[in-house]
Structure 1
């Protein structure tokens, strides 16, 4: 399905180009330092203050409106029931393909939301930590399916989100190491009563109806974002990232991918293209791209990794 489908005049989304979107931000901005910006973006994913000003501050402004509306509703419902229950975390899901820039989007959004006037506590969790350990994937003969729906401990992820929406004090979340290409057995991320929780991963908008599940990850979201781009661009970004990692992180003898360290540039390109075509492309078409229309907002990137259009679900 093309973006022209989801953004047609009679479709569920209204669309804004970058300039139109930038002008919607009436009041929210902040001067980030070059060091702060450098800490937010991932490898081979450029990030500028213009991108933050044009895209993410208006997005934070919109989300602030929705979050405040959610708090107002909570207050009125408390009054109706004559209760004084705590406000639950406002949960934002971020989905999209491998290599499309979800992690940068999630980190930037975490940063700008934490700068809102009431300085909310914003936590970020990636679903990589909810992948089954490699030993489990090997035992099930699905190590080469890592990233596909069956490779995730969805029950644990749902338990975590249920705990957050039940007002539990804290929850231990598994941590994933890209260096070791595995879930770390001895390390946990402790999430304690965030005001806003961002959940980022390729699988967060998926509906696995084949297993007869009646509860989905996205059922716990207050808002969802899909990071989108042309497939040819995403593949190029993946291949270029693989080559950059081969020349850097893969040189570490502790890296799971150290065996690729001695490849030359052409061999690296061939290997990355093969991995894309055999694993990431099928996963994109079978499981990730079909979830795009379920998002509340779509960030559409151009070939240089910068957002060029924003599509927002009509209310």
Structure 2
């Protein structure tokens, strides 16, 4: 972890895994091994021990934050003399490709759903807000897929603004990892959840500062709490390559897969391809766009060699 987090003037309180695990208190375990198997993403070996030591304390903290925020909204409404409906609590989950964002988001959703004050928890990924491949090809952006410019930012902002305004039945586009594209005409509907988890590569990226003083909103402006999954670049590179090699033997063999061409590569060719994709696309995006957003997170989960979360950094209030 860089010196900012370790510094005496750091905005974070830093916990070892064992220190953080004690903060679970008496939070009950509500996930079974079978349920965790269904939530676990490819090549992300999260265990029930990880849930007990990392995610149960986090779900306890978030439950307290959500309850406090709901109380603040009620107090504000009394002050203003209004009766506005409930405002969803938004949680952002950011980090590199292959770091385990999907698993973290799914596990948190299941744990938070089982708290009595947050019965409705929805999850959405920002993949659906990528421009369609046809648009990316037309504008020379296929090799920039996942970079900020490859997203329909205005559509994503409208979606989040509508959610935060308490609107019902807000729709978002759907992305297929099989065909590696937005699915035409397919949508997912989010209808006034208590909590919405938004997972994506660049969800914490700030807007550029305006020269004229006018507000330029960005995704992170709508979040009540933001989580960043962190790991050394060398580990992320290894995990990405391992996942690619596994997909080569599984999902890539589907005739409908966008990556079907990679299934017939030799092992050496597949390894070279994976390393090339990482060095040309994923690592530059990480270094230029994703990693710089880490200091904007309220919570940083730092992973070690075996995907275990070794350190937790919580922003001081």
TM range (shorter): over 0.9
| Distance (whole Å) between structure 1 residues aligned to residue 12 and residue 118 of structure 2 | 30
For residue 195 of structure 1, what is the aligned residue in structure 2?
A: 194
Count of matched residue positions in the alignment of Structure 1 and Structure 2 = 314
Q: Which string of whole-angstrom CA distances, capped at 9 and with x for unpartnered residues, describes residues 253-277 of structure 1?
A: 1100000111122211111001100
Moved more, 241-250 or 115-124: 115-124
CA separation in 1, counterparts of 2:263 and 2:74? 57
Give the corresponding residue for 2:268.
266
TM-score normalised according to structure 1 size: 0.97
The equivalent residue for 1:241 is: 243
The Cα shift of 1:31 comes to 3.8
- SS of equivalent to 2:228: strand
User: What is the 5 A alignment of 1:42-121?
Assistant: 42-121=41-120
Contact 2:226 2:298 in 1 (8 A): yes
Name the counterpart of 1:140: 139
- Following the alignment from structure 2 to structure 1, what is the Cα–Cα distance between the partners of residues 210 and 242? 36
Q: What is the TM-score when the length of structure 2 is the normalising length?
A: 0.96
TM alignment of 1:1-315, pairs within 5 A: 2-209=1-208, 214-315=216-317
State the 1:211 CA deviation. 8.7
1:226-285 deviation per Cα after TM superposition (whole angstroms, max 9, x unaligned): 000011111000000000000111111110000011112221111100110011111001
* Per-residue deviation, 1:38: 0.4
Cα distance between partner residues in 1 of 2:30 and 2:84? 36
Alpha-carbon shift at residue 208 of structure 1 (Å)? 4.3
Counterpart-to-counterpart distance in 2, 1:45 and 1:23? 24
CA apart distance, 1:187? 1.5
| Alpha-carbon distance in structure 1 between the residues aligned to 2:109 and 2:199 | 11
Task: Provide the rounded CA distance (Å) in 1 between the counterparts of 2:300 and 2:16.
Answer: 12
How far is 1:181 from its partner?
Answer: 0.3
**Is the 1:97–1:202 contact (alpha carbons within 8 Å) kept by the matching residues of 2?**
yes
Pairwise CA distance, 1:118: 2.8
Instruction: Tell me, in whole angstroms, the C-alpha distance in 2 between the residues paired with 1:210 and 1:243.
Output: 41
Q: How far apart in 1 are the matches of 2:33 and 2:59?
A: 20
Deviations 1:191-236 (A, max 9, x none): 1111000000001011242897711110000000000001111100
Moved more, 21-30 or 35-44: 21-30
Residues in 2 aligned to 1:154 and 1:22: alpha-carbon distance in whole angstroms = 37
Contact in 2 for aligned 1:7/1:311 (Cα 8 Å)? no
SS in 2 for 1:293: helix
Find the aligned partners of 2:270 and 2:111 in 1 and give their Cα distance. 36
246-255 vs 27-36, which moves further: 27-36
| 1:23 match: secondary structure | helix
C-alpha spacing 1:174/1:15, structure 2 compared with 1 (3 Å): same
Q: Deviations over 1:28-63 (max 9, x none)?
A: 122422210101110010011100010001001111
Where does the alignment leave 5 or more consecutive residues of structure 1 unmatched? Answer: none
| Closer, same or farther: CA 215–56 of 1 in aligned 2, 3 Å | same
Q: CA deviation at 1:170?
A: 1.3
Distance 2:167 2:39 in 1: 29
